[in-house]
Structure 1
Amino acid sequence: MNTIKLRTFTLAVLAAASAPALAQSQTVSMPVPDEASIPKGPMGDAVKRGKALLTDTRKQLPSNVGNGLNCTSCHLNAGTTAYASPWVGLAGAFPEYRSRSGKVISLQERINDCFQRSMNGKPLAFDSSDMNAIMAYMKWLSTGVPTGTNVAGRGFEKIDMSLKPDPVHGKSVYTAQCASCHGAEGQGTKNPQGGYIFPPVWGKDSFNVGAGMARLYTAAAFVKHNMPLGRGGSLSAQDAVDVAAYFTQQPRPDYAARVNDWPRLCENAPFA
């Protein structure tokens, strides 16, 4: 990053930090509705269809998924787990400004971002029955969350970005803590139907280089709170950063459009 771009980025960060508190969204607790509350009729059918698409994405939408993942490979427990990028409350949070896009985007655009990056695939048509079903599920998940508020646990847990990554140590952490599920070569663990019990974390069937999970501290934040599965929080922040440094550096599909990311800040992601 040259001096001018660094200065521009610094000013942008300072401006965001000094913005009035009133510009920030209120944060509320994350309610997860009971499935018994899914309505009867066409709307309820759409909600159920949306959940099926998000939990069995590779099989249900083979024309839109270019790897071996499902949406719930990262959005755990059908999008209801705090700090695993839950979908609860998203229906009332969008449209919103996204720094990676450098513009205000809709929820449909955010969903398609994941299809093109995390799923290494193709976007859904905005007016398709599949997109509407996904939107219906997210709207139902957002029941009781006031419009314009954030839920506690949205996105990923914060992690200390001053920690210096050590990918050599990260490989040791991966071997000891991750390889039994995700494979010694990051290839994941397949099920008899040809999908994955545990998703691949690098290679052709994993997310591409444009995905949020391909960025060091984003991946580390996810790992720290959620991994190993069932023992989230058992790794230190340093271990999480180190293991993320190891697996994010492994080969994965390219994403040519990544060159257009963060147009208002700098040529590449503002944070690793």
Structure 2
Amino acid sequence: MKVIYSLLAFSMLSVSAKANTELPDRQAELPAAKKNSQAEYLVPRDLTTITNDEFGEKVKLGYSLFVNSQQMRGKYVGNNQNCVNCHMEAGRKANSAPLWAAYMAYPAYRKKNDRVNSYADRIQGCFTYSMNGKPPAYDSPELVALSAYAYWLAMGGLMDQHGLENEPVPALDDKQLQIGGKAESFPMPDVIAQALPADKRGSLAGRGYPKIANPELEPSLERGMQVYADNCAACHMKDGQGVSDSDGHSYIPPLWGKNAYNWGAGMHRINTAAYFIYENMPLGKSVQLTVQEAWDVSAYVNSQERPQDPRYRGSLEENRKKYHAHDGFYGKSVNGYTLGSNAFPSAVVK
């Protein structure tokens, strides 16, 4: 069914508010394709070029919230995660689920929750699952700012690609910012609109995490524990709890336990985590592990207990069947223990 985005632009946010209650975001798997070594990736503008005006202040706030999401701890964030933990280099890095590619992929119909999602919807899902918290409301300063930052990265990079490097990124109003760049009615310079029609915007090179080969051997928790000890424990600690200061501000994120991403987050999928780890870890010297090691350590990390899936309604088996028909351990027995059966509670936020 063809979605008429021009009409959607006027009604997206009010419709989504109702739909969020009726059809919770099921966190569909991030798109993954084999890495293309010849691809030309979009390069966002330097942060120093953000304008010192009302729109620029929104972009700056979005950047600040993205790299230090703990500013929202207790209000919207319920764990020790920051957005930048899963989206490297402040959401700028290709092949690390960059914000510029995600922004241009929405609005989009998602079969998993049977509705059209705006970019704001997608961010709200991240707060619910990856941040184990409460999503900011539509039109809230935080949601607008995070949308503005992603838009600025995308549009600035596209403008530079198409010979508009000396022009500032056009300001958008708050509602436009939250919809996303894939709408037919989305305002952009003619030269970009002609080169990048709406049906091509959701497949920018570098989107998501690159797909890697399947492991030769079934992922092993025992081997994964050794890979973790050799390559991950120095930063994430032996107990997987990362590094925080005395005030609880997180610098290295926990990978399991009460302050990690919950059982609804995309990163709990073994394949998604393996793709991310292989491409991005260890931090600062990525693509160091073998494919097998990436799968093994992903399985090990995601075989540890973490906060409960927010969609859980009392039956672990029903929740597993409804939302977890994928590559993960939720509701499955590992060494005699059923994961999710004693999950940490979802965080309480104001």
TM range (shorter): 0.7 to 0.9
Bigger Rg, which one: 2
Matched, 1:152 2:242: no
- Pick from 66, 77, 81: which aligns with 1:54? 66
* Stretch of structure 1 that moved more, 186-195 or 112-121: 186-195
- Pick from 215, 224, 229: which aligns with 2:283? 229
Cα deviation for residue 90 of structure 1 reads: 2.9
Code of the residue aligned with 1:170 in structure 2: it is: G
User: Partner of 1:176 in structure 2?
Assistant: 230
C-alpha distance after superposition, 1:35-61 (max 9, x if no partner)? 233123100000000111111111245
Cα deviation for residue 91 of structure 1 reads: 2.8
User: Partner of 1:268 in structure 2?
Assistant: 324
Any conservation in 1 of the 2:75–2:134 contact (CA below 8 Å)? yes
User: Partner of 2:43 in structure 1?
Assistant: 31
Any conservation in 2 of the 1:31–1:88 contact (CA below 8 Å)? no
TM-score by length of 1: 0.82
* Stretch of structure 1 that moved more, 138-147 or 193-202: 138-147
- CA-based RMSD of the aligned residues comes to 2.2
User: Partner of 1:186 in structure 2?
Assistant: 240
Matched, 1:121 2:133: yes
Cα deviation for residue 238 of structure 1 reads: 0.4
C-alpha distance after superposition, 1:137-179 (max 9, x if no partner)? 0110111434542322111110223542111100000011000
Any conservation in 2 of the 1:89–1:141 contact (CA below 8 Å)? no
Any conservation in 1 of the 2:267–2:273 contact (CA below 8 Å)? yes
Cα deviation for residue 236 of structure 1 reads: 0.5
User: Partner of 1:165 in structure 2?
Assistant: 219
SS at match of 1:88: helix
- Pick from 118, 122, 125: which aligns with 1:110? 122
Within 5 Å, give how 1:57-76 maps onto structure 2: 57-76=69-88
Code of the residue aligned with 2:284 in structure 1: it is: G
Matched, 1:219 2:231: no
Percentage of identical aligned residues: 38
Whole-Å separation in 2 of the counterparts to 1:256 and 1:122: 10
TM-score by length of 2: 0.65
C-alpha distance after superposition, 1:73-119 (max 9, x if no partner)? 11111101122211013333201133543433111110011100000
Give the 3 Å change call, closer, same or farther, for CA 36–267 of structure 1 in structure 2: closer
Query: Which blocks of at least 5 consecutive residues in structure 1 are unaligned?
Result: 1-26, 260-264
User: Partner of 1:19 in structure 2?
Assistant: none
Any conservation in 1 of the 2:215–2:295 contact (CA below 8 Å)? no
Any conservation in 1 of the 2:41–2:205 contact (CA below 8 Å)? yes
SS at match of 2:109: strand
Any conservation in 2 of the 1:53–1:61 contact (CA below 8 Å)? no
User: Partner of 1:101 in structure 2?
Assistant: 113
Cα deviation for residue 269 of structure 1 reads: 3.3
Whole-Å separation in 2 of the counterparts to 1:221 and 1:34: 27
